Structure 1
Amino acid sequence: MDAVVFDLDGVLVDSERTWDEVRRAFAAEHGGVWPPEATVAMQGMSTPEWGDYLVREVGVRLSAEEAARGVIAEMARRYEQGPPVLPGAVEAVRAVAERWPVAIASSSPPVLIQAFLEATDLGGLVRVAVSSEQAGAGKPAPDVYLLAARGLGVEPGRCAAVEDSTNGLKSARAAGMAVYAIPNPDFPPAPEALEGAVVLGGIGELAGALGRG
């Protein structure tokens, strides 16, 4: 293994519930009706994709671009006091970065990725931080992981990916990376998405598991 690529939402920040709350409230405010499958479906989508989903599937009465801008503006407002960093996340990234080059491959927009890096002072350790907005397709497509590996100058098959969600796990696997899963207790991944992954009980176990791998 030559590098480690982290997902952001649900792995390093406890933001999956926040995304869900913000999108649900925004949809209700703009005429949408929330389908039961919407929460899981949008996990991992790029910004253009979930903006379109809010309009097409949820019924938000705006353009996809307007919906995305509105949701991201509220997320950025909530991040103003600092993103909800998960316990042990910063320490885990620092421990991993002592041995391997580190990247972030996230479906969050660049403004929220940057907010995380600034709040945690990890910008100097995370060599590459890319959003699925920049990759062209969101998870479960492999594009954002492939972009991160390319930025690191490492073959995808020589990378480990750290993920929590169904779409994220599928994305990392499709990119050909070794997959380390930290299942999100609020939105647990589908059992089939965990097949072939090293399943951890928490991010504090990651550095040791990678060393054994």
Structure 2
Amino acid sequence: MERVKAVIFDMDGLMIDTERLYFDVERLIARNFGKEVKDETLWKMMGRKPLEAITVFAEDLGLDISPRELLSIRDDLFVKKLINEVEAMPGLFDILNSIRGKLKMAIATGSPNKFLKIVLDKLKIEDYFDVFVTSDEVEKGKPDPEVYNTAAKRLGVMPAECIVLEDSSNGALAGVTAGCYTIAVPSVYTNKQDFSFVNYIARDLKDAAEKINELICRE
């Protein structure tokens, strides 16, 4: 790869344990409609723009409700859980501190800006990052590479000079397609997904940090 100049973090499921919150909310909504949602549907939704994701949900469950109305229901439930239950993934502050001062950092998330702001405020991590890109600012969600291309451009670097950290197959595919060195950090919710195409599969954020520092030291 090119000389590493930046690391771009996904947010949900990678930095914070939100997949559990999303899954809880989406299973509750399904039950409220007398349905059960399969894990495969929840996996397909991961990393996508919110309206795209909830459209997948509605179609797979055969719900007779507009995606926008369904998204409003999900967001109301999710915000309450996010404010009360958001937690950093193990090793998050370790990896942030190990990179700080060495490389530029960005967050490129499929979540809307309102969710990002809650996370930054709750965890007090805004100062670590140079750039933020949310689903509100891109036309196409992951697995399209637009969010990572946008982040690289705002960081003032080439995608090939970036390392992307992702927990989902959709997100990892976006990173690879953008031309970034992509490290997958699968969670308990995504470890059955396909990551065969990434550059490195890390056991956890600590392992990812060690890999990043190894890549820096090679230069």
Q: TM (normalized to structure 2)?
A: 0.89
Q: Say whether 1:86 aligns with 2:89.
A: yes
Q: Say whether 1:13 aligns with 2:16.
A: yes
Unaligned 5+ runs, structure 2: none
Counterpart residue number, 1:184: 187
The residue correspondences of 1:141-156 to structure 2 (distance < 5 A) are 141-156=144-159
Q: What is the rounded CA distance, in whole Å, between the counterparts of 2:165 and 2:135 in structure 1?
A: 16
Distance 1:84 1:59, change over 3 A: farther
RMSD, matched Cα: 1.8
Q: What is the rounded CA distance, in whole Å, between the counterparts of 1:74 and 1:36 in structure 2?
A: 20
User: 2:153 aligns to what SS in structure 1?
Assistant: helix
Report % sequence identity: 25
Distance 1:80 1:36, change over 3 A: closer
Distance 1:61 1:27, change over 3 A: farther
Q: For residues 13-33 of structure 1, what are the alpha-carbon distances to aligned partners after superposition, in whole Å with 9 as ceiling and x for unaligned?
A: 111122111112112213555
Q: Say whether 1:3 aligns with 2:14.
A: no
Q: For residues 46-71 of structure 1, what are the alpha-carbon distances to aligned partners after superposition, in whole Å with 9 as ceiling and x for unaligned?
A: 11101222322222332111111111
Counterpart residue number, 1:97: 100
The residue correspondences of 1:154-165 to structure 2 (distance < 5 A) are 154-165=157-168
Q: Report the more deviating stretch, 30-39 or 117-126.
A: 30-39
Cα pair 1:32 1:61 within 8 Å, conserved: no
Deviation at 1:94, TM superposition (A): 2.6
State the number of aligned residues.
212
User: 1:80 aligns to what SS in structure 2?
Assistant: helix
Q: What is the rounded CA distance, in whole Å, between the counterparts of 2:91 and 2:157 in structure 1?
A: 26
Unaligned 5+ runs, structure 1: none
Aligned mate of 1:43, from 41, 46, 49: 46
TM superposition outliers: structure 1 runs of 4+ over 3 Å: 30-33
